[in-house]
């Protein structure tokens, strides 16, 4: 077959174009640090990448959920700790008032302090985090001490006791795994603050100058035990959340590692490939200039 000048020129241009394409692809990979920038570059890897990114997104969402659960439970624990401190102070005052040498005025002063402590417990029961009331079940936008059930229900709540929600609030912290983050305050704050509860009985006895007030210590002890039991349950949830946080951290590292292997380039190898391709391209230009023979015009010059 006869090889013409036109054939040589076309082959050289085609080869140079292919070389430029390889150079462009390597430069794009280095600048983006990705093996491919569009699905058509590697359809299989692109499909796998979508799956890996979904996994990473789910783990990151679970991590955010755990952060919210941790804030909620930590706030609950701190609130219960403050409540126990207030109840222990009430007990101390009750023991002090049971002293037979105390006079009526002194017991009235103690009663006034216990009333303040009771109001403090109401405030603790109204604790909120991120605009949500943590002791009112799923009614997180309603303040327990000011809810309709507390104030305007003469049939079910004739004594005007504070009604705390008991419905569970759950957060998904892993695929198919949910943790309850709220506490049923009806068995703690609700019982402690009701009109015939242990605290109110102590206040009434003090205001009536009852010298047998020591008989009411069992009631306040039971209330404290109830708060301590609830707090131990909260502590168990805190421990579980710590374990889930550690597990999610490991899963996130693994998921991102797999995604990186699928998408990210080996930067050292890519730079070497680019350097090699540049050398090949320069050699192709040099050889092409020699292979293409001078034309008749070049001889006439």
pLDDT at 78: 96
The more confidently predicted of residues 241 and 53 is: 241
Q: Which helix (H) or strand (E) holds 279?
A: helix 267-291
Residues 240 and 271 in one domain: no
pLDDT band at 5 (very low <50, low <70, confident <90, very high): low
User: CB-based burial of residue 227 (10 Å sphere; 0-12 exposed, 13-18 middle, 19+ buried)?
Assistant: buried
Checking if the pLDDT of 159 tops 70, the result is yes
* Cβ within 8 Å of residue 95, ≥6 positions away: 214, 217
Flag whether 116 is in a domain: yes
pLDDT digits (tens, 9 = 90+) for 234-270: 999 999 999 999 999 998 889 888 888 888 787 888 7
Spatial distance between the Cα atoms of 53 and 164, rounded to a whole number of angstroms: 42
Residues 187 and 248 in one domain: yes
Please say whether the beta carbons of 165 and 60 come within 8 A: no
pLDDT band at 222 (very low <50, low <70, confident <90, very high): very high
Residues 274 and 254 in one domain: no
Residues 167 and 291 in one domain: no
Residues 248 and 290 in one domain: no
Checking if the pLDDT of 138 tops 60, the result is yes
Report, as an integer, the average pLDDT of 155-176: 88
* Cβ within 8 Å of residue 247, ≥6 positions away: 174
pLDDT band at 217 (very low <50, low <70, confident <90, very high): very high
Residues 119 and 227 in one domain: yes
Q: What are the backbone angles phi and psi of residue 269, rounded to the nearest 5°?
A: -65, -40
Residues 89 and 226 in one domain: yes
Checking if the pLDDT of 301 tops 60, the result is no
Q: Could you give the 3-state DSSP secondary structure of residue 82?
A: helix
Flag whether 152 is in a domain: yes
Checking if the pLDDT of 38 tops 80, the result is no
Please say whether the beta carbons of 72 and 237 come within 8 A: no
Spatial distance between the Cα atoms of 197 and 190, rounded to a whole number of angstroms: 9
Flag whether 9 is in a domain: no
pLDDT at 52: 83
Flag whether 1 is in a domain: no
CATH number at residue 176: 1.20.1330.10
Spatial distance between the Cα atoms of 221 and 118, rounded to a whole number of angstroms: 15
Q: How far is CA 180 from the centre of its chain?
A: 14
Residues 295 and 226 in one domain: no
Checking if the pLDDT of 298 tops 70, the result is no
Flag whether 109 is in a domain: yes
pLDDT at 98: 85
pLDDT at 299: 53
For 88, 183, 263, 283, the CA distances from 224, given in Å and listed in that order, are 7, 16, 58, 87
Number of structural domains (the chain) is: 2
- Domain of 249 in residue numbering reads as 49-259
Spatial distance between the Cα atoms of 194 and 176, rounded to a whole number of angstroms: 38
pLDDT digits (tens, 9 = 90+) for 10-21: 777 787 778 777
pLDDT band at 2 (very low <50, low <70, confident <90, very high): low
Residues 175 and 254 in one domain: yes
Average of per-residue pLDDT values in the chain? 86
Q: What are the backbone angles phi and psi of residue 190, rounded to the nearest 5°?
A: -60, -45
Flag whether 13 is in a domain: no
Flag whether 209 is in a domain: yes
Nearest-5° angle of CA 226, CA 232, CA 233? 95
Paired sense of beta strands 132-133 and 170-174, if any: unpaired
Residue 251, CB half-sphere, CA atoms under 13 Å: how many?
Answer: 20
Spatial distance between the Cα atoms of 287 and 272, rounded to a whole number of angstroms: 22
Checking if the pLDDT of 273 tops 90, the result is no
Flag whether 252 is in a domain: yes
pLDDT at 23: 80
pTM attached to this predicted model: 0.77
Residues 239 and 275 in one domain: no
Residues 179 and 291 in one domain: no
pLDDT digits (tens, 9 = 90+) for 82-108: 999 999 999 999 999 888 778 888 889
Residues 128 and 173 in one domain: yes
Report, as an integer, the average pLDDT of 213-217: 87
């Amino acid at each position: 077959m006869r090889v013409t000048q036109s054939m040589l020129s076309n082959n050289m241009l085609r080869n140079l174009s292919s070389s430029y394409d390889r150079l462009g692809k390597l430069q794009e990979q280095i600048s983006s640090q990705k093996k491919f920038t569009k699905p058509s570059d590697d359809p299989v890897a692109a499909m796998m990448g979508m799956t890996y990114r979904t996994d990473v997104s789910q783990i990151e969402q679970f991590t955010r959920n755990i952060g919210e659960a941790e804030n909620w439970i930590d706030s609950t624990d701190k609130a219960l700790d403050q409540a126990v401190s207030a109840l222990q102070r009430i007990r101390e005052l009750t023991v002090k008032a049971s002293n037979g040498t105390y006079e009526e005025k002194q017991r009235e002063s103690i009663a006034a302090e216990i009333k303040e402590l009771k109001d403090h417990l109401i405030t603790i029961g109204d604790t909120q985090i991120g605009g949500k009331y943590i002791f009112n079940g799923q009614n997180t936008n309603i303040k327990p001490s000011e809810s309709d059930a507390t104030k305007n229900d003469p049939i079910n709540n004739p004594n005007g006791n504070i009604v705390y929600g008991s419905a569970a609030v759950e957060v998904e912290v892993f695929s198919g795994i949910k943790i309850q983050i709220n506490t049923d305050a009806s068995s703690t704050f609700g019982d402690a603050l009701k009109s015939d509860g242990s605290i109110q009985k102590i206040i009434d006895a003090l205001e009536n100058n009852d010298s047998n007030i020591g008989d009411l210590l069992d009631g306040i002890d039971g209330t404290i035990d109830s708060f301590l039991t609830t707090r131990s349950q909260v502590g168990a949830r805190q421990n579980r959340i710590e374990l889930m946080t550690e597990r999610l951290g490991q899963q996130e590292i693994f998921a991102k590692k797999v995604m990186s292997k699928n998408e990210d380039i080996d930067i050292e190898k890519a730079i070497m490939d680019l350097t090699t391709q540049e050398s090949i391209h320069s050699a192709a230009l040099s050889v092409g200039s020699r292979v293409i023979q001078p034309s008749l015009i070049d001889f006439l010059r």
